Structure 1
Amino acid sequence: MNVYMVERSLKGIGLNELAGAQRAAIDKAAEMTSQGTTIGYIRSTFAPEDGRCMCLFEAEKPGDVEKLNDDAGIPYDRVVPALDLTPAA
């Protein structure tokens, strides 16, 4: 599996809307996985001051991540390969 970062511009979004978008991404990932496209939501980081949001997903290819976001109706600027540098415990 590869890691992809979804870059979003969400200036002015409320916390309830942001939580709804996160839930939609998680739910769509579970649905796609159950239908044979393995994809997983990792986490998001949101900067409310300027509305930048970065979301990490695990997937085989970037098109799977784009499809998830398109089907879930979550706006994004681009999907790029990324490295998840979370330190091991």
Structure 2
Amino acid sequence: MTSRYADSGTYEVTLPDGTVVTVLRVPAPTSAPVVGWHRRSSDERLDLVAHRFLHDATAGWRLCDANGVIAPDALAARDLIAIPGGERP
């Protein structure tokens, strides 16, 4: 499995001070079906949940996609998170 950003591309943005920076396009979320739900404990890290259910500790982004969030920290505020099924398209 490759990075979700591998083919996303970049573009330039001009900041208010005139500095031009190159930024990465955020890819659209994948549409894997939700196959279940997991109630997180307060000290359970996202990489542990990804490893347990997706068999890949680096696939936390798939959990984010299934839960409609961009930042992994947003899942930390949730007790119940959706678990996606299947492989990434």
- The structure with the greater share of residues assigned to helix is 1
Q: Same fold (TM over 0.5)?
A: no
Which structure is higher in strand share? 1
- Could you state the TM-score of these two structures normalised by the residue count of structure 1? 0.31
Report which structure shows greater RCO (CA 8 Å, sep ≥6). 1
Scaled by the length of structure 2, what TM-score is found?
0.31
